């Protein structure tokens, strides 16, 4: 029974070879990773962000924020009393941090005395950031709220 004896040069070559194999494996795994951007047109959205800031200030002047909650098989959106009798038009974006394929954009055009209801079966059971921008009585408003549909 003889053991293979290696000199120090062969050991160093084996160490370097193992390091190269490790680096090649890590690089190929990292190249196969899928990275979702927050949005495809983030540059244009950044240029128009001052409008979002102004709309957020308008929303902050309301008596209470817009309520977003899961109500049975629907996600319900209740507007504050200031919008009673006003026509509300805008967009509701359900943004998922986990997967861009789960994002949903829903246009809204309602009389604010009605509740806006979105069926849960159109959404994935995950945590969403609900980004709402709407117009009523000549003003724009913006609000972000998190909702957990996984419960």
The per-residue pLDDT for range 91-105, each reduced to its tens digit, is: 999 999 888 889 999
pLDDT the model gives residue 95:
92
Strands (E), 86-151: 87-96, 104-111, 116-119, 127-136, 139-148
Q: Is the pLDDT of residue 117 over 90?
A: no
pLDDT the model gives residue 132:
94
Which of these, 60, 77, 59, lies nearest to 68 by C-alpha position? Answer: 77
The per-residue pLDDT for range 71-90, each reduced to its tens digit, is: 888 999 988 888 888 888 99
- Give the start-to-end residue ranges of the domains of the chain: 42-148
pLDDT the model gives residue 83:
84
Q: Is the pLDDT of residue 1 over 80?
A: no
The per-residue pLDDT for range 14-66, each reduced to its tens digit, is: 999 999 999 999 999 999 887 766 667 777 878 888 888 999 999 999 999 99
Q: Is the pLDDT of residue 113 over 90?
A: no
pLDDT the model gives residue 41:
77
Q: Return the CATH class of domain 42-148.
A: mainly beta
Q: Is the pTM of this model over 0.75?
A: no
* Segment holding 25, helix H or strand E: helix 8-31
% residues pLDDT > 70 (the chain): 93
- Asked whether the beta carbons of 128 and 95 are under 8 A apart, the reply is yes
């Amino acid at each position: 029974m003889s053991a293979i004896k290696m000199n120090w040069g062969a050991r160093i070559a084996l160490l370097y070879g193992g390091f190269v194999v490790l680096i090649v494996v890590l690089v190929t795994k990292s190249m196969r990773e899928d990275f979702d951007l927050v949005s495809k047109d983030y540059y244009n959205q950044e240029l128009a962000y001052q409008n979002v800031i102004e709309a957020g200030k308008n929303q902050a002047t309301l008596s209470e924020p817009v309520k977003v909650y899961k109500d049975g098989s629907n996600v319900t959106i209740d507007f504050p009393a200031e919008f009673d009798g006003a026509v509300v038009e805008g967009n509701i974006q359900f943004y998922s941090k986990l997967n861009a394929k789960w994002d949903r954009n829903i246009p809204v055009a309602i009389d604010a005395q009605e509740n806006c209801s979105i069926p849960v079966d159109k959404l994935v059971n995950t945590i969403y950031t609900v980004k709402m921008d709407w117009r009523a009585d000549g003003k724009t408003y913006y609000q972000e709220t998190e909702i957990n549909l996984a419960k």
